[in-house]
Homo-oligomer: A and B are copies of this chain.
Amino acid sequence: MEKTTIKKLLGDYKKLIHHDITVQGWVRAFRSNRFIALNDGSTINNLQIVVNFEDFSEELIKNIHTASSLKITGELVESQGSGQSIEVLAKKIEILGDNFFEEMQTTILQPKKHSLEKLREQAHLRFRTNLFGSVFRIRHAVSFAIHQYFNQNEFFYLNTPVITGADAEGAGEMFGVTNFDLNNLPKNEEGEIDYEQDFFGRKTNLTVSGQLEGETAAMGLGRIYTFGPTFRAENSNTTRHLAEFWMVEPEVAFNDLEDNIDLAEDFLKYVIKYVLENCKDDLAFLDNRFAEEQKTKPEKDRAKEGLIEKLENVIEKRFKRVSYTEAIEILLNSKENKKGKFQFPIENWGTDLQSEHERYLVEKHFESPVVLFDYPKDIKAFYMRQNEDGKTVAAMDVLFPGIGEIIGGSQREERYELLKTRMQEMHVDEKELWWYLDTRKFGSVPHAGFGLGLERLVLFVTGMSNIRDVIPFPRTPKNAEF
């Protein structure tokens, strides 16, 4: 890739000063028929192009406006004006393609403030805005940091199946996948739908998690991670839910719960540090946006920390590790609980924690990211390792300020008899999961892993508040546009 980007040019221009260069991009603004702010998507920063209108035809100048695509050749010089280090004195300007001016006025490309809702309706164009440029460049950086972290730590990337015959994991309602013509469903002799005639010869769904398959791979490769789309057919129209989202699930042979917590903390800090170091311009923009947004809120709802400050605090502090039992004590004794300020009052050990409780622990009590561990077994999944106390399992959740649970994981039950019994107790179909049970039969080992919802992490890092704004094309109830 020999062509230069505006990002590269702005970062390393010294040797090009007074040379002719060629750049391509879109017009963000054209001031006084003289200054073009050109953006090519590589960075939030624009390159200033200086146009001497006498050098160009009136026709050309007239056709340059916001959103126009240009190819410009000119001399790179140090800028005389403030606000930028360099500028290009245009010698040649070429309009690269159509820009229908009238129609553009009805889109979000029109240079004025648009609501996030409107931007979402034109999700195919929002990549052209400063805000979504920053969000999606950071989403990239988060994703790359995840791959790099695991690669450096000898994990192998594993692609678990999206279409699955299993529906036993119970992480949520599943979408069906079929090749049937729904107007003409084949029936068997009992009058039931004959799934044997479907593409896969059985009923199939979209996966809710790659964990169980991931465990089988960790039992051979040692350390694996998945990073792929997962699905929930839940009719939740909230700012926190998507029907299709990306999940990262590491699984490590020979790890116990403490190792798992160590991994989660190290991993999150690595990714956040990577973004702080590699996305300075985008973060500065989002930090500013976040601060402005806070000002519009009632004082009691405002974030205590700025966006960058929050990220720096997370990587500096050791996460507070607290057992579920301790957490319940703290909550039972809290003023909030005693004064009835929780929507769901804490009454006894065994109850599941709600978002308000998690946020109380993180934001008020500890003022730190918190890892809760050793949850009551009755509120957790069948595959979690049973502790000696007979009451709890080796589960863990990482709770972050403003966002609540960002990671959920556990040490897995590696003891065949205990796993099998627990599956029976919880009515999990052993026949369907024969292959999962197999991994406990032939050289079973302690192992642990967790799941991170990518979009939750991107929300945290960008300071955005609606999960639909951190995935390119959100899938939610009644919405699969694009």
Which residues does chain B contribute within 8 Å of A472, judged by CB atoms?
158-161, 213, 217
Interface residues of A in 433-482 (CB under 8 A from B): 435-436, 438-446, 471-473, 475, 477-482
A442 in complex: contacting residue of B71, B125, B139, B158, CB < 8 Å: B125
Contact assessment for B41 and A200 in the assembled complex, using a CB-CB cutoff below 8 Å: no
Which residues does chain B contribute within 8 Å of A343, judged by CB atoms?
none
Interface residues of A in 198-224 (CB under 8 A from B): 199-202, 204, 206, 213, 216-223
Cβ of A156 within 8 Å of any chain B Cβ, yes or no, is: yes
Which 5 pairs, one residue from A and one from B, show the smallest C-beta to C-beta distance?
A127-B220, A97-B444, A41-B222, A200-B480, A201-B478
How many angstroms between the C-alpha atoms of A108 and B16 in the bound complex?
Answer: 62
Contact assessment for A445 and B96 in the assembled complex, using a CB-CB cutoff below 8 Å: yes
Total copies of this chain within the assembly:
2
How many angstroms between the C-alpha atoms of A471 and B133 in the bound complex?
Answer: 34
A69 in complex: contacting residue of B27, B41, B263, B443, CB < 8 Å: B443
Instruction: Please name 10 pairs of A and B residues whose Cβ atoms are closer than 8 Å in the assembled complex, sorted by A.
Output: A1-B154, A26-B445, A40-B253, A68-B443, A99-B444, A125-B220, A139-B159, A162-B206, A173-B179, A199-B478
Contact assessment for A97 and B414 in the assembled complex, using a CB-CB cutoff below 8 Å: yes
For A27, the closest partner residue in chain B by CB is: B443
With A69-B445, A480-B200 as contacts: A143 and B162 at CB distance below 8 Å: no
Contact assessment for A443 and B99 in the assembled complex, using a CB-CB cutoff below 8 Å: yes
For A263, the closest partner residue in chain B by CB is: B1
Interface residues of A in 2-53 (CB under 8 A from B): 3, 5, 7-8, 24-27, 40-42
Contact assessment for B435 and A124 in the assembled complex, using a CB-CB cutoff below 8 Å: yes
For A192, the closest partner residue in chain B by CB is: B183
Interface residues of A in 65-87 (CB under 8 A from B): 67-69, 71
Contact assessment for A1 and B179 in the assembled complex, using a CB-CB cutoff below 8 Å: no
Cβ of A287 within 8 Å of any chain B Cβ, yes or no, is: no
Pick from A228-236, A289-297, A304-312, A372-380 the stretch touching chain B.
Answer: A228-236
Contact assessment for A221 and B41 in the assembled complex, using a CB-CB cutoff below 8 Å: yes
How many angstroms between the C-alpha atoms of A442 and B229 in the bound complex?
Answer: 31
A157 to chain B, nearest CB (A): 5
